[in-house]
Amino acid sequence: MITTDPYAFATLVAEQIVKGLGIVTLPIDPKGIARGRGIDVVAKPMENEGVSGMLVRYDSEFAIAYATHHQNEGFENFSVAHELGHYFLPGHVDAVIAGDTGSHASRAGYSSGDKYEAEADRFAAGFLMPRHLFFPALEKAGSGLAAIENLAALCKTSLHATAIRYTQCTRDPVAIVISRGGIIDHCFMSEAIKNVDGINWLRKREGLPRNTTTSAFNKVPTNVLHGVRIEETSNLQHWFGGRRSIEISEDVVGLGRYGKTLTVLYDIDVPDPEDEEGEQSLMESWTPHFRR
Amino acid sequence: MNLSTPPSAVFPDRLRRAREYRGLNQAELAQKAGMQPSAISHFETGTRKPSFDNLRILADSLDVTTDYLLGRVEEFKALAGADRLHRHYESLDGSDRKMADELITMLAKRAEEKGKP
């Protein structure tokens, strides 16, 4: 199955910039790169939650302010890289500069702001985790949550952003689920798992499957706040329905002040359709058929 | 500029006007700006929209302000002023807005110092 990603170009732009800068090792330092471009980078005071980042311009002079209240270097790097997305992506001048009246709100309806935000997010992921550096790291990172933790430490990115990038880049059937309470906040599935026949795709805003480790985990709020981490097994059917009862791995970690839970579903060893067909006909051949 | 006209729609004509005024052909401007020769043609026909990074480099190469290239002022070296300069300004809370204002003031000072002969 071929899926088209409307924001893939934003990732490509970011990766080309990193390559163009001659960077050959992780982590990428978005603050340093911005400063090298003559852009001021300023931390917002801790007590000021507000927006995660903003790009400020006066003619050809630029500054980026980023939030620090999460006390998470990965979150800060993503915020700065997101604002660099608005700076480097073609067409974002239309999103950032208001119209003639001076009121940004007056332009509501002109164009979806979400499109620009989604592009800047995809830029940030590609900028901090460019494929030419992320792929080799991914090969050595292991599997499941441990792989995501290793990659996050290497890239100085948040577990959340790294987990999403992991599903975009891995060749394995993997899904990550971000949940809060009993609800799936959002989820990402790797191409390999999207291509598995006979399973239901996970959908955001759906309820968490009840008989899963994640569902039980989220019933204890301190698990999330204290960043509790567990590695368990689960069943493909519990998460994805279908007719195959296959054991899979389910790693779960609380994301602390972010208030959400990250679940990684992996070790999903689905038999080849041809093997399954062969097995089915073998079973058929051994099943006694009685004449009525 | 009409409210419904996005800045990137004004840009192709402004770029061409500034380039011609400076007596440069597209290839010469591309070389000066360190861009591919085809980039200027794409910008001037509107098939490629600029980024802020592109704007900065082109404005510098043509000795005009980015505000001119975006159609926010009518003269090559004019500045548009300090308001309405960033995304979601209207919806920022008090402390964010204060910080944005302070940053704008700092950037404005720097821009004006650079503009002095």
Final residue belonging to a domain, choices A79, A108, A132: A132
CA closest to B95 among chain A residues: A48
With beta carbons under 8 A apart, name residues in chain A contacting B59: 59-60
Both A192 and A287 in one domain: the answer is yes
Structure-model confidence comparison of residues A109 and A180, the more confident one: A180
Contact status of B78 with chain A (Cβ, < 8 Å): no
Helix H or strand E encompassing A248: strand A247-254
| Range B7-70 classified under CATH 1.10.1740.10 | no
Both A113 and A189 in one domain: the answer is no
Both A177 and A263 in one domain: the answer is yes
Sorting pLDDT into bands at 50, 70 and 90, what band is A257?
A: confident
CB contact under 8 A, A93 and B107: no
Q: How do the domains of chain B map onto residue ranges?
A: 7-70, 79-115
The answer as to whether A145 is a domain residue is: no
Structure-model confidence comparison of residues B84 and A242, the more confident one: A242
Name beta bridge partners: A249.
A233, A266
The answer as to whether A146 is a domain residue is: no
A136: cis peptide before it, omega within 30°?
no
Substitution target from B87, B89, B97 for chain A, most A beta carbons within 10 A:
B87
Distance CA A195, CA A193 (A): 5
From A61, A93, A103, residue closest to B110, measured CB to CB = A61
Both A190 and A90 in one domain: the answer is no
Q: Are B51 and A116 in contact (CB under 8 A)?
A: no
Contact status of B91 with chain A (Cβ, < 8 Å): yes
Contact status of B57 with chain A (Cβ, < 8 Å): no
The pLDDT value recorded for residue A101 is 29
Q: A122 — alpha (psi -120 to 50), left (phi > 0) or beta?
A: alpha
The per-residue pLDDT for range A192-207, each reduced to its tens digit, is 999 888 898 888 889 9
Contact status of A106 with chain B (Cβ, < 8 Å): yes
A85: distance to nearest CA of chain B, Å?
A: 9
Structure-model confidence comparison of residues A255 and A278, the more confident one: A255
With beta carbons under 8 A apart, name residues in chain B contacting A40: 103, 106-107
Q: A92 lies in which domain range? A: 7-132
pTM recorded for the entire structure: 0.86
User: A100-109, A196-205, A234-243, A267-276 — which one is most confidently predicted on average?
Assistant: A234-243
Both A34 and A126 in one domain: the answer is yes
Both A13 and A115 in one domain: the answer is yes
**CA-to-CA dists, residue A129 to A136, A165, A245, B40, angstroms:** 11, 7, 35, 30
